[in-house]
Amino acid sequence: MLQINNAPRIAAADEQQQQSRASSYPAFLGFVRRQLSIIAVVTLLSLVLAVVYLINASPSFTAQATMIIDTRKSNLFQQQAIIGDIQVDSATVESQVEVIRSENIALAVIKDLRLADDPEFVGPGGGLVGSLIGTVSSWLEPENARSETDKLRTAANTFATRLNVKRVGLTYIIEISFRSYNAARAAQIANAVAEAYITDQLDAKYQATQRASVWLLARISELRSQASDSERAVVDFKTKNNIVNSGGGRLMGEQQLSEINTQLILARGQTAEAKARLDRINEIVSAEPDATVTDTLHSEVITKLRQQYLELKAREADWSARYGAGHLAAVQLRDQMQEIRHSISDELMRYAQTYKSDYEIAKQREKALEKGLSSVVSDSQMTDQAQVALRDLESSAQTYRTLYNSFLQRYTESVQQQSFPTTEARVITSASAPLYKSSPKPTLTMLVAGFLGLGLGLGLGRLRDLSDRTFRSSDQVETILEVNCIGILPDMDAARTAKVPGGPIATATTVGERVISHQSPLYSEVLNSPFSRYTEGVRAIKVAIDLAMMQQSSRVIGVTSTLPNEGKSTIAVSLARLIAQGGAKVILVDADLRNPSLTRRISPGAKSGLIEVAQGTVKLADVKWRDPISNLEFLPAVLSTRIAHTNEILASEEMKQLFIDLKAAYEYVIVDLSPLAPVIDVRITEPLIDSYVFVIEWGQTKIDAVEHALSDATNVVGNMVGAVLNKANMTTLSRYEAYKGSYYKNKYYSRYHHGE
């Protein structure tokens, strides 16, 4: 559904675009035809200037050298440069381009090649114009009056205008081009610029390295003194605070503390072990005589006693079983066993005394180590407090020593780099003498001059079009004034200069009869040349009036214009005669009471007219004039003296009644009114006039004047049949009416206009 609704809009838009494209081409052709003279003159002048330039310009040659900013750094000594290398990126390459363009490079080349003495660089230039300038300059300022500085500055300015340096795309390649009147000279200078740039880079690095070396040497001396003082302060502090290193970065006190602490831990372990053995032996002695300890396992005495005991015990058990427990032999064996047990207990008591002695020794050794540890800890705490200050002194000494070593190394590197400087730029293609001249190029120069001249001509033509604030086409009338253009009448005065009009010219044949005079050939154009364009244009006005009469009563037609001499009176006469010739009853009224020029032309002998009839002093039949050919009747306006209040006369009730009577007596009442701009008479004619025809002189009447005049005459605009372009140059008009150009010049159209 949406597609169906949008289809007519899309079709209408496409049709409008096609019409716009179709009308733009003829409009452009019309513009070109209108301004052809100015376009041709400007283009031709541009070509002439190009020829003059080619004749006077000296041929020049352009040589080109190519450099590259190499991103791969060649570091012979595998060390960091004193002056840090600039990271090569787009900004760096563009910066180097500007360096090559700099005045420093230019002056270096100028001095090296002595360009300040070359007339090409300090002279007026080549060609005829340059020679003339040089001659005049030599008269005004002799050559010997110029200082060396002036020559150098002049050469530098010329050098800058001929040097072209650019980067090739986004690469690191730079093209150096130089233009000169001599091919070999151009190549020499291009190569010299590349070498000067490389030399400048080397000099800049050498000077920077040299300045850095001088600064480093002074800084090294200062750091050496600071490092020595700091290290000496460390030694003095250690001596004063009895701080001795035992090797491996440890202090003597720290080593002693560690060793005593280790020994104390061992002593405590031994004490605990001795006490455990003593406690165990005491338990065995007191409660378990048959038990043993580790040391008794290695005792031969106890071992033998145990063996004897075991043997006796076995025998006693055997005899007790055999003879009874009370047998004498069994009792003796038990007595012997008891004695052996006492012997084992005595031996264990001896071991207990030994364990007790070991335990006491271990306790004494542990106390001695604890006392020594306390002493070392106390000394270590004092050393630790001094160590804080010592570390600050050692850190300062280490820092100064590190800085000193670093600066000393950098200084050594700078000395090496001064004798081996490097640069990132290198020449990859040297310039050679060009075989062909680079300028001027005749074909390109003429093409550019032609296009520039054509563009300038079109611009000037467009400016002329925009500055032309007159009406030149019917489209302008309809667009700007928003009224119909009902006719375009050719400039018959210009056409009559080439031929004499034919046809009947009516004269007064009857004595005393008031017959219209035909002093102007234009007044008889519609009768003498019925097939002319002028007559056809008047017919178009008549048709527009008839169409207006069909919609409303428009029997009284007023003809007016913005300014005098725009042809309103001529059109009024022609329109009236054309309508009257068709058989209608028509009267032409001259209502221009300020300047009744129509009356003076066609009824010079009139004694009374419109004013007298309106006042009732004379009758209409006694003052009207007649055209015997078309039966047109004319009511003149006769002024014996100039009247200031003509607007009041036209606004009077008597005048209103007169026009009511004229409308009743005639089919058409054509009224020649005064212009809108000079007087206000037309503004008060609304009660008298049914419709207005507004006359505009083609190519003369200003648009602003017409707009201003109509803005003050709303009654004219509201009742206007249409506007008429008068005195149009039909040949020039075809250039403005783009879509009607072929219409005005069509050979078939001319068959219908025989009177042209």
Which tens digits make up the pLDDT trace of 550-582? 766 668 999 999 999 888 888 999 999 999 988
Would the pLDDT of 242 be above 60?
yes
The β-bridge relationship of strands 556-561 and 668-672 is: parallel
Q: How far is the C-alpha of 103 from the C-alpha of 114, rounded, in Å?
A: 16
Q: Is residue 17 part of a domain?
A: no
Give yes or no: residues 326 and 455 share one domain.
no
The per-residue pLDDT for 717 is: 87
Q: 99-105, long-range: CB within 8 Å, 24+ apart, which pairs?
A: 99/197, 99/200, 100/165, 100/174, 100/176, 100/193, 100/197, 101/160, 101/163, 101/165, 103/156, 103/160, 104/200, 105/193, 105/196, 105/197, 105/200
The per-residue pLDDT for 668 is: 92
Q: How far is the C-alpha of 616 from the C-alpha of 628, rounded, in Å?
A: 27
The per-residue pLDDT for 497 is: 44
Q: Is residue 471 part of a domain?
A: no
Q: Is residue 412 part of a domain?
A: yes
Give yes or no: residues 310 and 188 share one domain.
no
Give yes or no: residues 51 and 132 share one domain.
no
Would the pLDDT of 93 be above 90?
no
Give yes or no: residues 266 and 404 share one domain.
yes
User: How confident is residue 437, by pLDDT bands cut at 50, 70 and 90?
Assistant: confident
Q: Is residue 220 part of a domain?
A: no
Task: Note whether 433 and 186 are within 8 A (CB).
Answer: yes
Give yes or no: residues 403 and 459 share one domain.
no
**Mean pLDDT for all residues in the chain:** 78
The per-residue pLDDT for 218 is: 81
Average pLDDT over residues 604-624: 89
The per-residue pLDDT for 248 is: 53
Higher pLDDT, 466 or 222: 222
* Contacts with 562 (C-beta within 8 Å, 6 or more apart), sequence order: 675, 676, 677, 696, 701, 705, 706, 709
Give yes or no: residues 686 and 575 share one domain.
yes
Give yes or no: residues 598 and 550 share one domain.
yes
Give yes or no: residues 256 and 379 share one domain.
yes
- Could you list the residue range(s) of the whole structural domain that residue 605 is in? 481-501+532-747
Average pLDDT over residues 291-307: 65
Give yes or no: residues 405 and 458 share one domain.
no
Residues in the chain: 756
The per-residue pLDDT for 72 is: 62
Would the pLDDT of 46 be above 70?
yes
As for how many domains the chain has, the answer is 4
**Joined tokens for residue 521:** 């050939």
Q: Is residue 510 part of a domain?
A: no
Q: Is residue 2 part of a domain?
A: no
Q: For residue 157, what is the enclosing H or E element?
A: helix 148-162
Task: Note whether 705 and 562 are within 8 A (CB).
Answer: yes
Task: Note whether 530 and 642 are within 8 A (CB).
Answer: no
Would the pLDDT of 476 be above 70?
yes
Would the pLDDT of 469 be above 70?
yes
Lowest mean pLDDT among 11-25, 410-424, 547-561, 626-640: 11-25
| Segment 186-205, tens digit of pLDDT | 899 999 999 999 888 888 87
| Segment 256-286, tens digit of pLDDT | 677 778 887 887 888 888 778 777 777 776 6
Closest alpha carbon to 632 in 699, 671, 572, 579 = 579
Q: Is residue 690 part of a domain?
A: yes
Average pLDDT over residues 316-325: 80
Q: Is residue 14 part of a domain?
A: no
Give yes or no: residues 76 and 127 share one domain.
yes
Would the pLDDT of 489 be above 80?
yes
**CATH code of the domain covering residue 709:** 3.40.50.300
The per-residue pLDDT for 254 is: 65
Give yes or no: residues 169 and 40 share one domain.
no
Would the pLDDT of 116 be above 80?
yes
Query: For residue 123, with 0-12 CB atoms within 10 Å meaning exposed, 13-18 middle and 19 or more buried, which class applies?
Result: middle
The per-residue pLDDT for 521 is: 65
Half-sphere exposure of 165 (CA within 13 A, CB side): 25
User: How confident is residue 670, by pLDDT bands cut at 50, 70 and 90?
Assistant: very high
Give yes or no: residues 145 and 282 share one domain.
no
User: How confident is residue 586, by pLDDT bands cut at 50, 70 and 90?
Assistant: very high
What amino acid is encoded at 95 in this protein? S
The per-residue pLDDT for 296 is: 56
Please say which residue of 403, 429, 455 terminates a domain.
Answer: 429
